[in-house]
Amino acid sequence: MPDQRTVILDTIRRDGAFDVVVVGGGINGIGVLRELALQGLRVLLVERNDFCSGCSAAPSRMIHGGLRYLENGEFGLVQESLHERDALLANAPHMVRPLPTTIPIRTVFSGLMNGAAGFLGLSETPSSRGALAIKAGLALYDWTTRKRRLLPRHNFRGARATFAQWPALDPKLRFSATYYDAWISYPERLGIELLRDTARLAPDSLALNRAEIARVGSTFELNDTTSGERFSVTAKVIVNATGAWLDSAIARLDASETPAAPLVEGTKGSHLILDNEPLYQALGGHMIFFENADGRVCIMFPYLGKVLVGSTDIRVSEAGRVRCEPAETDYILAAARLVFPSIPVHADEVVFTYSGIRPLPKSDHAFTGRISRGHSVHRIAGDIPQFCMIGGKWTTFRAFAEQAADEVLAELGRERLCGTLTLPIGGGLGFSAHPASLAADLAGEFAISDERAAYLVDRYGSGARDIILFCLGRPDDIRLDDRTETTAAEIVYLIRHEFVTCLSDLVLRRTSLAIAGDISMVSIERIADALAAERGWNRQRRDDEVKSLVAELDTYHGVSQEMLDQRTISGAQNESQRQSPDEPDVHQRQLPRCGARSRRVQ
Ligand SMILES: Cc1cc2nc3c(=O)[nH]c(=O)nc-3n(C[C@H](O)[C@H](O)[C@H](O)COP(=O)(O)OP(=O)(O)OC[C@H]3O[C@@H](n4cnc5c(N)ncnc54)[C@H](O)[C@@H]3O)c2cc1C
């Protein structure tokens, strides 16, 4: 049977006439592909790298109303974001989950005028946020969602109650407040699930990663960069969803009329994943949403058994691939130490770093936190009009896609056939309100371990059943190594169904092996074996893939070859100790069986 990419390319080769070409496969491009495809249009999405590999792989992983935007006076954005947050909690409950968020507070009165000052343009940097300003913001947050309350209201605590719950918090605190937002466990996977939904519901529309497109006369030339093959494609409308790259993409798609000034400007943001058990325990399952010494709001929360801390916000003059620089690591570590001053936090606890460029609307604000996180669509006239998607947040991707799609539909004189506000996403379809009982049912039905069932439900929601059916009875349904529940058979499923073109797609975006600090040299080798077997690669090609992934992890994610080797050794020692507690011989190790290790599940 031809593989997924071959089928997509054959279809384009047979018929390259599309109503709309969407350029850029981040969450906003994927969102608009789904919107337009569901209205009966034939749409092609073209992504230069992998889907959700740009800014969409770099968020703080909050699905949130944006409490902070209140002090910029962006009440409409907060209202829309809360609406979309609640829609995601309902449509993707397997990945978007409630997150109790606690704000440590030092003062009573300060920051009261931040909202007014920001709104009137009187102040750039907000002053420290005190109890009254935070209380007012949280009351507004609660009021906005009063008619569809999915999450509890906020509550305020004095110092004694605060330290009773978080004894390690900074002793100088006077109050704390807890409110509820949400977090997303695997944003890159949600992007893939949206693509799979679109392929199922609107099979005439297509999405292609590792491809480039450029205007040639009255048509477009599509270049499959994995093979170098070129295709001729036509479109009535272009949607430019290239995020931070938007301005440079405009001319490639049609040079006839370009805006006089740039539409987008980028600010870079980085995060660290820390393996620090005392910090993890101190958080008590909450996000701490705190103010750093420079007035910027930072976040820290328990993520996949580790601690996620971020972020920075640094203007960049040009879009490109970015990484967390040493000065940013120092800034984030210093911020983490502010919150729980008695807990030591060391640079060698960083197991993964990531970084991205926020595609923000062009702005003159000196303080980057003041630049709007709102979104807009800018139409560029031409024989093939181009609709540019400017700004946005992960949380609001659906509303932004809906807005852009409505403008495209109006351009083409087409009616909207359906909406997406209540449409379940991927493994959110038919997802149980009680994931633990779904896991128990699957464990019983298929005789798999409770741990494996819980892991699969956590990753794939209701899609866990498909994975189990695929893996059942396969000889390679064996864990990649002691650090993970992911099996080689599961990797084969992902390769066949999830638009995988290379090793880094699997390690960085289809699984959470890298971000959770679980990737080791032995698991890289096993994933490479599976991919090479599926693609029919020779030894050289396979080894080149491994080399290129190891270099990428080192350069962009702070994961060195030494760390990968060390994880292999410690995994082997754990496994052989379990198999033979008296003889910890790493060379006589057998492959770990599924579900053999207990793991924190959030
Ligand atoms: C540090 C940080 C923290 C954040 N935290 C949050 C958060 O907690 N919650 C939240 O809601 N939002 C958050 N965001 C914002 C959110 O991540 C972004 O708004 C969103 O991901 C932008 O998606 P996008 O699709 O517009 O851009 P991208 O994801 O960057 O997608 C653009 C795509 O276009 C592709 N491309 C570029 N040029 C071309 C070309 N010529 N041809 C083909 N493809 C091309 C790129 O490869 C890229 O994949 C955060 C962002 C950052 C950086």
pLDDT tens digit sequence for 163-179: 999 999 999 999 999 99
Q: Does 119 have pLDDT greater than 50? A: no
**3-state SS string for 46-106:** ECCCCCCCCHHHCCCCEECCCHHHHHHCCHHHHHHHHHHHHHHHHHCCCCEEEEEEEEEEC
> How remote is the C-alpha of 134 from its chain's centroid?
28
Contacts of 583 (CB under 8 A, 6+ apart): 576
pLDDT confidence bin for 302, thresholds 50/70/90: very high
**Residue 125 binned pLDDT confidence (cut-offs 50, 70, 90):** low
Whether the per-residue pLDDT at 212 is higher than 50: the answer is yes
pLDDT at 27 over 70: yes
For residue range 520-536, what is the model confidence (pLDDT) as tens digits?
999 999 999 999 999 99
- Other Cβ atoms closer than 10 A to 281: 13
Stretch among 220-229, 335-344, 351-360, 580-589 having the lowest mean pLDDT: 580-589
Count of beta carbons in the 10 Å neighbourhood of residue 98: 16
Nearest ligand 1 atom, CA 61: 8
Please give the single-letter amino acid code of residue 432.
Answer: S
Provide the pLDDT confidence category of residue 373 given band limits of 50, 70 and 90: confident
Pocket test for ligand 1, best of 22, 28, 56 (most atoms within 8 A of CB): 56
- Ligand 1 centroid to residue 245 C-alpha, Å: 10
Q: Is the pLDDT of residue 586 over 60?
A: no
The pLDDT, as a whole number, for residue 48 is: 98
Residue predicted with more confidence, 486 or 112: 486
The CA 27 to ligand 1 mean position distance, Å, reads 7
The number of the ligand 1 atom at minimal distance from the alpha carbon of 311 is 1
Q: How confident is the model at residue 582 (pLDDT cuts 50, 70, 90)?
A: low
* CA 314 – CA 328 distance, rounded (Å): 10
User: 212 with 223: CB under 8 angstroms?
Assistant: yes
Pocket test for ligand 1, best of 358, 373, 508 (most atoms within 8 A of CB): 358
Distances (CA, A) of 370 to 139, 317, 496: 22, 18, 44
pLDDT grade for 486, boundaries at 50, 70 and 90: very high
Question: How does pLDDT run across 132-153, given as a tens digit for each residue?
Answer: 888 888 998 899 889 889 999 9
CB under 6 Å to ligand 1: residues? 23-29, 46-49, 53-56, 58-62, 212, 241-245, 249, 252, 269, 311, 356, 358-359, 392-395
- Radius of gyration of the chain, Cα coordinates, nearest whole angstrom: 24
pTM, entire model = 0.94
Surface-to-core class of residue 584, CB atoms within 10 Å of its CB (0-12 exposed, 13-18 middle, 19+ buried): middle
What per-residue confidence (pLDDT) applies to 585? Answer: 40
pLDDT score of 474 more than 60 = yes
| Range in 19-23, 89-93, 392-396, 432-436 the model is least confident about | 432-436
Which of 35, 51, 53, 55 for mutating ligand 1's site (highest number of atoms within 8 Å of CB)?
55
